[in-house]
Structure 1
Amino acid sequence: MNRIDMKFEELKKENKKALITFITAGDPNLDMTENLVLTMDKAGADIIEIGVPFSDPIAEGPVIQMASKRSLDNGTKLVHIFDLVKRLRENTEKPILLMLYLNSIFGFGTEKFFSLCNESGIDGVIVPDMPFEEKDEIQSYADEYKVHSISLVAPTSGDRIQKIAKNSKGFLYCVSSTGVTGTRNEFSTDFDKFFTEIKKSASIPYAVGFGISSPKQVREMKKYCDGVIIGSAIVKLVEKHKEKAEKPVFDFVKSAKMALNDYIVL
C-alpha cells in the first residue's frame, strides 16, 4: 500500500485525524527544508507536502508566491528536490507529497518525473492547475509508478463534486474557500452543505486546506473531515525566522496537532 493509505488507516484505527503540513522547497535553502520537514515530523505532522517552486503559481497567495520566488532565486530545481526526499527517507517514513504545477511535470518529462518520485520515496502529487477532467494527462504514469495523484474539490465544484469524490485516490483535497492559498480570519463557505455532498460519494479520506492558520481554526474545521492542511501559516514563519525557523515551526505544528487530537468521534 501507498504510505498515504497506510497513514489514514492507522489514524482511523486510533480515532484520530491527519495533520498535513506544507513548506516550499528551497526557502530559505534546501538544507533548512530538510531540517524543517524532520522538525514537522517530530512535532506531529502526519503527512508533509513539499512545494515545488514555480514562476507563475496561480493557486497561491502572496506568502507562498514569495517563498517560491526566493527558492527560484536560490536556484532550486526538481532534481534537487528529488535528492532532498532521498535524504529525508533515511530519517522518516511519513508520507511525502509534492505540490507542483503541470508545466513542471511536462517540462521535466512525465514518465521520468513519476519514475523519480517512486525512486526517491514520494507518495503523492498535488497539481492545482490540472482540472479533474484532464487527469489522464498524468494518471497512467502515476499509477504505473504507484504515486497517488491527489484530486482537489472546491465549494464551487457543484455537480462535479460527486464525480471527483468517487474517482480519487489517496485523499480528497477539499479547498475551504474560493480564491488562492493564504491565511484567513474567517470562512464564508457553508461547510455543512459542502461536506454533505462530499460524504455522499467519497470512499477515501478527505482533508480540508486553504486558509487554515491557527489551532482555533483547526478545532473549528476538524469535525468536517479526516484531516486538516496548513501551509501559508508555516511558510510565514519560515519567511520571518529563516535559518532560525525550526523552533517556531515545531511549536506551531505541535499546537495544531494538539488542537486536532482533542476531537473524538462518537
Structure 2
Amino acid sequence: MAVVDRLGGALSVARDADRALLVVYLTHAPEECAPFELALTAVEAGADVLELGLPTPSAAPRGEEIRASFRRASGSSTEQAWELLQRLREALPDTPLLPLVYPETSDDLGWDPLLTSAARCGADGLVLTRPWHDGGLEKVATSGLSAVPVLPATASAAEVARAEAAAAHLTYRALADRTGGRLDPDVACSRARELAATAAKPFLVGFGISDERQIAALAPHSAGVVVGSAAIRAVRTAAPGTRARALHSAVRAWRNATQVSR
C-alpha cells in the first residue's frame, strides 16, 4: 500500500460525512481535450477520486464511449499518460489516482514496467477490469499498490472472496455488462442492496451510472459510485472552450447526489 494512504483517507472522510465517494473517470486523450485541466476541474467540482484510462495499442474497451475515447487517443504514447499522472500527483497531493488496467494494458506494457511506472508516477492503486488475467490481482496486491478488482455480476462466490482478500481498500462491482450500458435505477439499487448484504469489503459501483437520480439511489448501498462514460460524454458534446465548464457542472451535480439522507 502507498505510504500515504489517500484512498483509505478518502473513504474515511466520505463515511464520516454520510456520503458515497464520487469517482470520475477520464481517458488520457490529448487530441480531444486538455486532460490535465479537465482532471483538475473534476476534483475542484467535487470528485473524490480520479480513475484514468491509459490507452495502449491493443486495448479496446467494450463500452462505446470509452472505446471511442481510446481511438481518439491513438496518437498519444503511454509515456505521455504517465507524465500526466505524475503532473496530477504533484498538483493534487491528496487525491487518490487510479489508472485503469485492461488485460491488453498489461499484455502491451508488461506487469513489471506497468507496476514500476504506476508507483513512480504516484498512483495509489490500479483498477483491474479482469483481475484474474495473468495473475494480475495478486501481482498488484503484493506490489504496494491498492488492487481494485472489477467484479461482474457473474463472478462466483470463490472469485468474489479471492478479490476481497486481495483488495486493500475496495472492490468494484459492475452493475451492467459494459461501461455506458443502460441502467435501470430500481434494478441497480436492488442489486447494490443485495451486494451490501454479503460484501466482506467496501465496494464501488459502476457501469452505466450517468445521472444524479441513479447516484442518489446507489449511494446508500455502496462505498462509492464511478461515473465514466457520462463524464467523457459531457466533455465530448460540449462546444470548444466550454468543456471544462460542462464537466464542472456535471461533476458538481453528481457530487451533490452522493449525500445519504438520514
Paired residue type of 1:45:
A
- Structure 1 moving runs of 4+ over 6 Å: none
CA shift at 1:2, angstroms? 2.8
CA displacement 1:180-234 (0-9 Å, x = unmatched): 111525258464355434542423x211100010111111111211111101011
**Secondary structure, in 3 states, of the residue corresponding to 1:86?**
helix
CA displacement 1:134-158 (0-9 Å, x = unmatched): 46346335533x2112111222224
Which residue in 2 is equivalent to 1:22?
25
Which residue in 1 is equivalent to 2:160?
161
1:55/1:69 contact within 8 Å kept: no
Which residue in 2 is equivalent to 1:11?
14
Which residue in 2 is equivalent to 1:52?
54
Aligned with residue 148 of structure 2, among 147, 150, 153: 150
CA shift at 1:259, angstroms? 1.2
CA shift at 1:10, angstroms? 2.0
**Secondary structure, in 3 states, of the residue corresponding to 1:180?**
coil
CA displacement 1:56-97 (0-9 Å, x = unmatched): 55543211111110111xx21221111111111222120011
1:54/1:69 contact within 8 Å kept: no
Establish whether residue 232 from structure 1 lines up as the match of residue 233 from structure 2.
no
Which residue in 2 is equivalent to 1:86?
86
1:28/1:239 contact within 8 Å kept: no
Paired residue type of 2:146:
H
Paired residue type of 2:135:
D
Establish whether residue 38 from structure 1 lines up as the match of residue 37 from structure 2.
no
Aligned with residue 216 of structure 1, among 199, 213, 217: 213
**Secondary structure, in 3 states, of the residue corresponding to 1:90?**
helix
Output the CA distance in 2 between the equivalents of 1:183 and 1:103.
Answer: 21
**Secondary structure, in 3 states, of the residue corresponding to 2:250?**
helix
5+ residue gaps, structure 1, are: none
Which residue in 1 is equivalent to 2:204?
207
5+ residue gaps, structure 2, are: none
The alignment's TM-score, normalised by the length of structure 2, stands at 0.87
Structure 1 pair 55–240 and aligned structure 2 pair: CA distance change class (3 A): farther
Paired residue type of 1:173:
Y
Structure 1 pair 131–147 and aligned structure 2 pair: CA distance change class (3 A): closer
Output the CA distance in 2 between the equivalents of 1:18 and 1:142.
Answer: 22
Paired residue type of 1:13:
D
1:176/1:189 contact within 8 Å kept: no
**Secondary structure, in 3 states, of the residue corresponding to 1:155?**
coil
Establish whether residue 63 from structure 1 lines up as the match of residue 65 from structure 2.
yes
**Secondary structure, in 3 states, of the residue corresponding to 2:258?**
helix
CA shift at 1:99, angstroms? 1.0
2:89/2:122 contact within 8 Å kept: yes
The alignment's TM-score, normalised by the length of structure 1, stands at 0.86
Aligned with residue 258 of structure 1, among 252, 256, 259: 256
Output the CA distance in 1 between the equivalents of 2:220 and 2:113.
Answer: 39
Paired residue type of 2:172:
Y
1:53/1:100 contact within 8 Å kept: no
Structure 1 pair 142–27 and aligned structure 2 pair: CA distance change class (3 A): farther
Output the CA distance in 2 between the equivalents of 1:118 and 1:224.
Answer: 31
Output the CA distance in 1 between the equivalents of 2:164 and 2:137.
Answer: 18
Percent identity among equivalent residues?
Answer: 21
Structure 1 pair 171–137 and aligned structure 2 pair: CA distance change class (3 A): closer
Establish whether residue 77 from structure 1 lines up as the match of residue 74 from structure 2.
no
CA RMSD of aligned residues (A): 2.4
